[in-house]
Amino acid sequence: MKRTVPLFLAAATGFVLIVASFVPAAGSWGKYAVDWFNILAALAFVLGGGSLLSQHLKKISDQQAGWGYSLVTVVSFLATLVVGLGKFGVAPPTLHPDKVWAGDYKEAGSGFSWIFDYLYTPLAATMFSILACFVASAAFRAFRAKNVEATILLVTAFIVLLGRTYAAIWIGDQADWLASQVVDPAIWHPYVTGLRLDKLTETIMDVFNTAGTRAIMIGIALGIVSTSLKVLLGVDRSYLGSDDR
Amino acid sequence: MIDVLSNLDRRWVFAAMFVAVGWPILSGVRFKEEPSEGVRRVFRAIEDLPEGSTVLMALDYDPSSQGELQPMASAFTRHAAERGHKIYFMTLWPAGSPMIERSLRIVEQEYPDYVYGEDYVNLGYAPGLEGAIKAVVDDLRGQFATDARGNSLDSMPLTEGLRNIQNMDLLVNVSAGDPGAKQWVQYAATPHDIAMVTGTTGVQAPSLYPYIPEQLDGVLGAIKAAAEYEQVLSVAYPKFAESVKAQEGLRRMGPQLVAHLLMIGLIVVGNVIYFVERSRGPGGRR
Amino acid sequence: MNENNRVWWILFLVGGGALLVRAATTEFGKSYARDQTVYVTVEGGTAEVDAVPGLPTAESDAAHPDAARWTRSLAADPGERDDPHVRFSWADTIGLWCAALLTLAIFSFLFGDNPGYRLAEAIFVGVSAGYAMIAGFWEGIVQLLLAKLIPVATKEHFLPGLEPDPRWADDWARYQSGDLGYVAAEWAATTLLSLVPLVFGVMLLMRLSPKGGWISRWPLAFFIGATAGLRLIVHFESDFIRQIQATLLPLIVFKEDNSFDLAQTLANVTIVVGVLSSLVYFFFSKEHEGVFGGVSRLGIWFLMITFGASFGYTVMGRITLFAQRLEFLFDDWLWIIDPLQRRAGL
């Protein structure tokens, strides 16, 4: 019961979806599966919230180190929930002025949009922005031309970093000017414009990056096809966990 | 000197980054952009559609990547509205709904003739990751009971006969990761042959190039492409050259240049340290 | 006092001092809002909306008898503050300062872990979980689940725009006319098949209970199975078949006027060679030596170029996000720069 039903469920769902994409008659089965999948994805946020809450409440009740921060997390979580569910400061829809609970939960000027604009946005944006500094520090410490491969990587990175800014245009213009002092640009220009850093970056992206990424993509695709098959055929059961007899 | 640098506290590197990014912002330095062919391709995908074409605008990003992607979303919105296309907004990210609101504000403020429900509509957030794409591709009504404002889809001309997105003239996607551009290519553009362009973060952009041009018409990768797009747009429509709001990406290229130079400088210095220390041999640090 | 604490104090004093100096010499960090009163009359399914600037007055109320009324507070630029309907907004000003201080708190992590950062992090965790749950509820659970499971209540309270489909249009009409009670109408209108995702959902939430955890494997298995089914098809088509197709390129290209196209020829050859050699590198079932080893080494070089390009793009992206935060501090909070001319004429 604990293992057979889940195995059957996974296989049945997967194969229904596979069949549905080839056999139009099975399309409605596939639609149900996708609809339920999407509802479960929405419910997963509730699960996430619930598990966050239980984790931090335990930390608080045990008075573990740093339980004060857990308290802050719990309070901000619950406050966001209450404000969002209560739709404070939200106007009703114009067609139904009597339905006070039917307005847009994220309406500008509402309590929930205050939380989004002044708490969530700065925190999320800044959290990711400080990675710029860590990338810089890591590059300074670890990005070394130790061998041919690393040197290729490094040179490509330089070209792209320069090629995607005004520096490439400036360097290209200077080189053009210098060269035109010696030879008539009409003769050589068509042959070397491709070597300007901005053009070179485009070539790297369109040709070399496309080739390398495509190989990786093909490899990953094969990997996903085989893991999916393993899951559907019940060969890979790791998602069931191991705490079961 | 080498010893000082090799033992440099990383906080000095952070400080240098603050200066490299902060100074150009304060000085407001700006540079000209020469749009690349890839960006022109994306521009043409929207520009060449006949007026009144249907465009699905999937804005799959949140505040954590707004610095890169907001300029793209704004430029796409302005361009589509300028060309008189019918725009359907939606997002696969829970925090994407407020991002859509920003684009809606652009439409409301800059295109007062655009009527909600007739020229543009906001379908809102669709949960389900890639499942949501699968749903809107096959049966949109199963995914959206109403639009994001609670209006019945049958009550608006734009959505009245809309059953799925397979007949959209163009799919415009702004993507910060998964689910996003890759999944739109896999679940919508490839199987149903829907024309698609995307604007993505720098992290994601390189991984999308293999789809061009068969499965994807073009990619805007990172802020540089956003700036170039704004540039093409302001050449084609001079009113955008006058509008400071339509130049967020162009403005951000100043700090970009200085910070890139700093990065290159750091890597060069790092390598100089490495080679000097290596030439001193093992345990050769004096 | 150790070295770190000394630097903290210096940072605090210098930062605080700079703020004080700025406050004494000029203005910054203020937010403004524009009030609007909305009068709505609904007749025959269409709404007549009149948005009057400012808070409601006796005159504006008198001009809209029988209208529903609410007020809205819209963001206004500081440059508009001479407008009589624009006022200083405490809520938005406090919000702006919260945003600025939280931004600084996250930045402070660059100097070292500290209580300010930990506080900001704790708020972030709570708010983002709460946010996702609310978005998931209003735009997911209500739209996808409740609209089918309890359509009458959903239409009555949350989604008045919900269009009754033929299955329950009748029940809804009878409920509206008072023919059918609330519960009876709901029972008649519900789509029982929607119970499946609800049951799955409840089983999923059992994960939170200490004993019933195993029940959550059912919905989880459904989820995994569906993911596998969906991904198998699309990856095979879009990332395998179509990628191989796209690599079958002409190795000699002529332009439309029949002249030899050197650039495109080189590009095509490079792509084909690059894809094949990189694939050879990924092929681990055979020893990488001899010709095979040489090709695989070429493959590594292609991959290195790919990774180098990715690195460049990643750096570019991170820097932009960083620049946007500094812009926020300098523009919205400190009013040092004004790229959007929001404080023009101040």
- In chain B, where the domains are located: 37-244
In this structure, the answer to whether residues C51 and C7 fall within a common structural domain is no
Chain C residue closest in CA terms to A155 = C308
Which one of A129, A202, A235 would you mutate to disrupt binding with C, by most C Cβ within 10 Å of its Cβ?
A129
DSSP states of chain A as a string?
Answer: -TTHHHHHHHHHHHHHHHHHHH-GGGHHHHHHHHHHHHHHHHHHHHHHHHHHHHHHHHHHHTT-TTHHHHHHHHHHHHHHHHHHHHTTTPPPPTT-TT-TT-S-TT-TTSHHHHHIIIIIHHHHHHHHHTHHHHHHHHHHHH----SHHHHHHHHHHHHHHHHTSHHHHHHHHHHHHHHHTTS-HHHHHHHHGGGSHHHHHHHIIIIIIHHHHHHHHHHHHHHHHHHHHHHHTTS--GGG-S---
In this structure, the answer to whether residues C6 and C49 fall within a common structural domain is no
pLDDT over threshold 50, residue C245: yes
Out of C46, C65, C88, a domain closes at C88
Token pair 């031309």: residue? A145
CA distance A199 to chain C (A): 13
Q: pLDDT confidence of A244, banded at 50, 70, 90?
A: very low
Which residues, at least 6 apart from B103, have a Cβ–Cβ distance to it below 8 Å? B57, B59, B73, B74, B77, B89
State the total domains in chain C.
3
B241, B6 Cβ separation under 8 angstroms: no
In this structure, the answer to whether residues C39 and C67 fall within a common structural domain is yes
Q: What is the phi/psi pair of residue C46, to 5°?
A: -120, 145
Instruction: Convert the pLDDT of each residue in C168-188 to its tens digit.
Output: 888 898 998 888 888 888 888
pLDDT over threshold 90, residue A188: no
A113, A107 Cβ separation under 8 angstroms: yes
pLDDT over threshold 90, residue C121: yes
**Region B58-78: what's the mean pLDDT?**
96
Would you call C305 and A66 a contact, using CB atoms and an 8 Å cutoff? no
Residue from the list B25, B94, B251 with its beta carbon closest to the beta carbon of C136: B94
Chain B residue closest in CA terms to C158 = B150
Q: Which CATH number fits domain B37-244: 2.30.110, 3.40.50, 3.30.70, 1.10.287?
A: 3.40.50
Element housing C116 (H / E): helix C115-136
Domain coverage including residue C58: 32-88
Query: How many Cβ contacts (< 8 angstroms) between chains A and B?
Result: 165
Q: A135-159: string of b/e by CB count within 10 Å (b at 16+)?
A: bbbebbbebbbeeeeeebbbebbbb
Q: What is the phi/psi pair of residue B129, to 5°?
A: 50, -130
Higher pLDDT pick, C325 / B2? C325
In this structure, the answer to whether residues C10 and C80 fall within a common structural domain is no
At C26, list the tokens.
């000029």
Q: Which residues of C touch A54 (CB under 8 A)?
A: 208
In this structure, the answer to whether residues C262 and C315 fall within a common structural domain is yes
Determine contact: B261 vs chain A, CB below 8 A.
Answer: yes
Instruction: Convert the pLDDT of each residue in B66-75 to its tens digit.
Output: 999 999 999 9
**Region B244-272: what's the mean pLDDT?**
94
Out of C42, C70, C88, a domain closes at C88
> In Å, how far from its chain's centre is CA C194?
28
Instruction: Convert the pLDDT of each residue in B121-154 to its tens digit.
Output: 999 999 999 999 999 999 998 899 899 988 999 9
Supply the mean pLDDT for chain B: 93
A8, C218 Cβ separation under 8 angstroms: no
Contacting partners of chain B (3+ CB pairs under 8 A): A, C
B contact residues 172-231, partner A, Cβ 8 Å cutoff: 206-207, 209-210, 212, 221-222, 224
Q: What is the phi/psi pair of residue C70, to 5°?
A: -150, 165
Please report whether residue C184 resides in a domain. no
Q: What is the three-class DSSP state of B88?
A: strand
Residue B286's pLDDT is 46
Q: What is the three-class DSSP state of C29?
A: coil
Q: C59-97: string of b/e by CB count within 10 Å (b at 16+)?
A: ebeeebeebbebebbeebbbbbbeeebbbebeebeebbe
Q: How large is the ipTM?
A: 0.94
Would you call B202 and C136 a contact, using CB atoms and an 8 Å cutoff? no
CA distance B51 to chain A (A): 31
Task: Round to whole Å and give the CA distance between B196 and B210.
Answer: 14
B141, A31 Cβ separation under 8 angstroms: no
Token pair 């670890």: residue? A142
Please report whether residue C243 resides in a domain. no
Instruction: Convert the pLDDT of each residue in A38-67 to its tens digit.
Output: 999 999 999 999 999 999 999 999 999 999
Please report whether residue C75 resides in a domain. yes
C contact residues 48-107, partner A, Cβ 8 Å cutoff: 49, 68, 70, 72-75, 91-92, 94-96, 98-100, 102-103, 106-107
Closest residue by Cα to residue C173 from C187, C183, C185, C162: C185
Chain C residue closest in CA terms to B66 = C321
**Region C62-81: what's the mean pLDDT?**
90
Instruction: Convert the pLDDT of each residue in B180-195 to its tens digit.
Output: 999 999 999 999 999 9
Q: What is the phi/psi pair of residue C25, to 5°?
A: -95, -30
Counting every residue written for chain C, the total comes to 346
At C84, list the tokens.
């009589």
Chain B residue closest in CA terms to C155 = B150
pLDDT over threshold 90, residue A178: no
Would you call C243 and B210 a contact, using CB atoms and an 8 Å cutoff? yes
B170, B197 Cβ separation under 8 angstroms: yes
B175, B199 Cβ separation under 8 angstroms: yes
* Cα first-last separation, chain B: 11
Please report whether residue C166 resides in a domain. no
Q: What is the DSSP letter of C249?
A: -
pLDDT over threshold 50, residue A245: no
Please report whether residue C42 resides in a domain. yes
Token pair 């010696």: residue? A182
| CA triple C339-C76-B250, angle to 5 deg | 20
